[in-house]
Structures are given as C-alpha cells and as structure tokens.
Structure 1
Amino acid sequence: MIYLGSYGTQILSWPSRVGYPCPSPSFLALHPTQPVLYAVSEQEGGAFIAFHLGEAEEARAVKTGGSSPCHVAVHPGGAMAAVANYADGSVALVTLDAEGLPAGELLVHRFSGSGPNRERQEGPHAHFAKFVGDQLYVVDLGSDRIHRLDLAANVLGAIAFPPGSGPRHFAGGRPGHWFVTCELDATVRGYREEPDGSWTAAGVLKASSSEGLNYPSHIECSSDGGLVYVANRGPNSITVFAADEQAGLTRVGEVAVQGAWPRHFALYGGYLYVANQDSNNIVRFRIGDSGLPSDPEQLLNLDSPSCLLPCDDARAVW
C-alpha cells in the first residue's frame, strides 16, 4: 500500500483508492507501531492531523504553532512527532499518546537568520525534520543550516552550509554518512559525521547534468547506503549517484521522470515511485541491478501530488 499526499483535498491510498479528506495534505508519516496516519495541512494556519488507518474521518487535529507546515517526522519510539513550518521557519514538537494521537501542549521553537538569496532567504524556512537518535535535525533553507535540537526543543548546535545553497532534504547512507540536496545552488552534498557530531564535507556535485535551472527536491539512499537518488525539478529527472566508503559521490546516471516537477519519490519493493506535482501523475520505475530506474509505468493521475508514503501490507489492513 502507498499513501499519497497532495495539494488537493484528500490523502489517497493506492491501489485501494480509499480517500481521507484533508486540505492540502502535502506530507505524510506513519506511527511506528499504531495504525495511525499523519498529515500536515500546508496552509497559512496549518494543522497536524491524525487518522486511524481505514477510517476516513480525522481522529484528532491540532494547530502546528506556525505557518505552512510542509514536513512531518515521527520519533522511532512513537511518543512524539515533529512538524516543520516553512513560512515562518519554526518547528513544533507534538506529544503523542499511547494510541498515537496528538495530546498536550506543543513545544515550538522559532528559528532566526537569513541568507544571501533575497527572494528565498529573507528569513528562516524550516523544510524538513528528522529524528536522529534522541535529537531532532531541522533543515532550514532560509539560513543555510541544519539545526540540532533535543526533545525539549532546545537548540544544541547547527551544521552550516555554503551561503545561498539552500539545503532542503537529507538522507542517511552508510553509518555516519549523510547526503543533502541543496535547492538553491542545485547541488547534492556528501558528509561524514565525526565523533563530536559535527559533519565533514566529503564532496559536492551538481544534482543534474542538465544546463538549465534545477531545484532539487527529495533525496533517498538505497538500503545498503551505496546509492543516492535525487529528484530534479526543472530537468524533470532522477539522478543516481554511487557513494563510496568516505561519502564521496560519483554520478551513475540520470533518468527522465515521465512528468513535470518531481516533488517527492519513494523506493519500495524494488521500485521507485515518483510524484510529479505539475503533471499530476504518479509514475513507477523498476530498479535494476545497476540501481538505475527503468521501464516507466504510469500508475494514476492525482491533482498536485506531493508525497509518497509506502506502508507494508500488515500495517495497511489495520
């Protein structure tokens, strides 16, 4: 089962095509043990919404303490979720009860800072959140940083990126290896984590071989950490990189996504699924032995798809 987020009016499951009414559910997440699906409603007064799987009506919703929430992550222990509010650059920590539903007061941290790109970096823009152990990493496109927080929303430090690079999403490869898409300078960057938690740059490459404008979006690694996949908006492609033992990158190939503006993708069950936001379509590719996507198949049309969330069969029937 795959749950599909969008800038439309519902979350859609595929292949069952069951809908969960929700305004602009731009990003989704699952509870690690409970049959609960989460969405952020990316609006000016955005919300964090929980659904019981298989039930269309929302189970509980709370405001996110900020504007235009665009990403949500759930702690592996299941007691907390984090929401990145893009417009005002804040992050909210949401307590989850034993059933996986939001409960209690939000912990909200508001970042500050800006960057040299006056159109996109006039202030902080939290774009992505990820729990790494018992720390929360928040990617701030507006100030060219990844902030590190504890679970009480206290800032522990930050990883700085080149001014104007605009980090967007990041993914982990082999242990201690991190890879980041930078939207504003159209690069993908590799890093090694040091014992003190700092990151050492291991290399940087253009995310696409295209000469035109590119705004890289999502990034994921293969299960063994040896390959890195990056979506390119503008060139409308997926680039595959090989990652070496030092987190250095080598370009393997680049494949057209059979659509426009690939906002998100997911690796699942030997396939790569792409959400093409501007062409309103979901495309599936087979992943061959080389790691390159091939044999594109048009799966379905969906207004402004923005997120793909795979769910194993056992969870999906709950």
Structure 2
Amino acid sequence: MTTSEIRTGVIGLGYFGSFHARQHAANPKGRLVAVVDADRARAEAVAAQHGALAVLDHRELIGKVDAVSITVPTSLHHAVAADFIDAGIHVLIEKPICDTPDAARDLIARAEAKGVVLQIGHIERFSPVFGLLRDKVKAPLTVECTRIGPWKGRAIDVDVVLDLMIHDIDLVLALVGSKVVAVEAMGSRVLAPTNDFALAQLRFANGAVAHLSASRIADRSERTIKVVESDRYWVADLAARTITSYERGHAVLSQEEIAVPPSDNLALEIDSFLEAASGRSRPVVDGQAGLDALLVADMIIQRIGQASRDGAAVPIGDQH
C-alpha cells in the first residue's frame, strides 16, 4: 500500500474528534472517506465540511477504509477499536488507550495478530518542545510536571488523572526510560463526580523521581516540565514553546533560552499515523506505550482512593 491509497475515517465527532476529521481531510497522504457519530446532524455537518460520507454506525466503515481515528468516550475504546483491528484496519485511539489494563492488553494482542498499526493519541509526544527537551536531557534525577487549567466542564466523567495527568505520565516514562517501582498520590473531587485535581510522586528503578500535578479547577493555565540533572536544570514551557537551561559553571549559573517555532501537534500526530499505516515507519506511541501510561495512571487513581491509609508508597509489581 502506498500512502496515497490510504482511505481514512474518524469515529466520534465531539470536541476533539472534529479536529481529527479536519487534519485527516487536510493530509495529502490519505483521503477522508467517512465520519461517524451517533448524532446524525453532527455527522452530516462535519461530513459536508470535508466532502466525506456521514455514517451513524462505525461498522459500516469496514471494507471502506484502511485506517481510522477513534475519538469516542474511553469506555467505548475497546469495543470500537476491536471491530476495526479484527477487520485488518489500522487504528489511532485517543488517549487513554482503554479504561482498563486488561482491555488494553487485549487490543495489543489483536493488533499483533492482525499485523495492523495500533497508535495511541498521546499528542504531547509530537510537541517539538518536548522533542527538543528529550534530545537534550541525558540522565534526569528529578522531573516535575505541571498541567493545570480553569474549569471547562468537559470530560467530567473521566478522572483528571486519565484526562490530563496521563499526558505527563507518558512524557515522564519516555524521558526517564526506567520502570516505576512506587507511587504516592493524593487528589479530590470538587466540581465533577471524579477527581478534579491530583498530585503524584513516581519513583523509578534507576533512582529518578517524578512529581506530577494536574488540575482542571485552577486559576490559570500551565503546562511545564522541569528536569534536574547532575549539572543542569531544564524548564520546558509547552504552551509558551520555550526551553530554558540553567548550567552550573565556575561559581556562576549560566542561562540560555531556546524559542521553538509554533506547530500543529495534532497534524504531526495524524501524519505520523499515516506514515506508520503506510508501512514507512513504526508508531511513535504504540499500544505498549499506551498500556504503560495507563498502568501508572491506574496505580495513581488507586492510591488516591486509599486516602484513609497512612500514605506509604504503594509498590508496583511487573507492569507488563
């Protein structure tokens, strides 16, 4: 299959799904064939924008597409993705991969059996700011991630750990490159039926420690990653698109700021997916990476639920 032959579809046209449809339609490596949503009016409106077919049942796309973006609620990820994977269709699933580790493992096994691409939509992996930071950081001792924003009233059925913090869980795992061995966490519900803010500490087998903070009820927006190495301190601002390094010299601390040009990270993610679907590359964030992030997120949520206990770190067994 060549990239020009990739027929694509988007399943789920909520807030983020409509963006997926736009990027699929704009990418010359594929051709947006159809969009799917249970809301007929919404499906027809998005389809009309991009010259695609409007469909109410995702199963109608089988035989008509080669690759799809799945942007339905997390609880439906497994059922929808399994139908496409079993039909030999490449799949990009918005994060998190699934609502349970067992469901994620099942999708990974199905994709391996069928030989299709299973990519997970951890969009921050495609941020040039993070890419530059990852290239420069060699041996992190501590990592501090902050991802907070004002209340928007969206995705309130999903814990903030799965809604926001999981982005940074994935980034930290990619930066540190070691197994998480213990977790401490706290959080609380405020406006939603699930946790609205969470704090977590991850300890890694190589001795590194990560501190993660996520909130959807903050008074400001912030998306930063701070990394301490033995001789340098890095501050990456994902929103402002800057990386600042502080290096220890001869009794002085030198400072350098790097500005990163603007980018459309979703466009980069979709392009990467189509490249993988064409067989030209491997997915940047595959099913196993999605499962690794979900396992850590699951432990954090469990730890928050154990608030009545003494706060001791919870050891993690084999994550795989």
> TM-score of the superposition, structure 1-length normalised?
0.33
| Greater per-residue helix proportion | 2
> TM-score of the superposition, structure 2-length normalised?
0.33
Larger Rg: 2
Higher RCO by CA contacts (8 Å cutoff, separation 6 or greater): 2
| Greater per-residue strand proportion | 1
